[in-house]
Amino acid sequence: MSQENVEVVRRAHEALNGGDIDALVALCDVAFRLDMSDRVLNPAVYEGHDGIKRFYAEVRDVWAKYRWEREELIESGDQVVALLRSSGKGRGSGIEIERRTAMVWTVRKKRARALRFFRDRAQALEAAGLTE
């Protein structure tokens, strides 16, 4: 079961980075919860498929390009920790950023149920019951 969960997260990241939000939504439960409250700017929690679309639209409004590159996927029961290298270029400013972050995905029955963003990788691992 855990390898299936990792595969769901891998496909979700491919859809997100490819801008295929319909494919991303198709992998997520209708009650999907996207917790971006650990962001420095505009912390928020998004609910459901409409929340996923709203989040992506907000990212596209601010960033000319933005990517969440997977460095490693680590399963822990029904959770998958995605260790990421995030990079982007500001739409208006042209400023470029790169940082290492993490997301903890909850996957059950081949459906993504939740995602929680972490600026600190160690906190993400701890939240999933793992240590770095």
* 10-residue stretch averages of pLDDT, the chain, 132 residues long: 87 94 97 94 93 95 93 95 96 94 96 97 94 64
Report DSSP state, residue 131.
-
**CA-atom Rg of the chain in angstroms:** 14
Single pTM value for the model: 0.92
CA dist 75 and 3 (Å) reads 8
pLDDT value of residue 39: 87
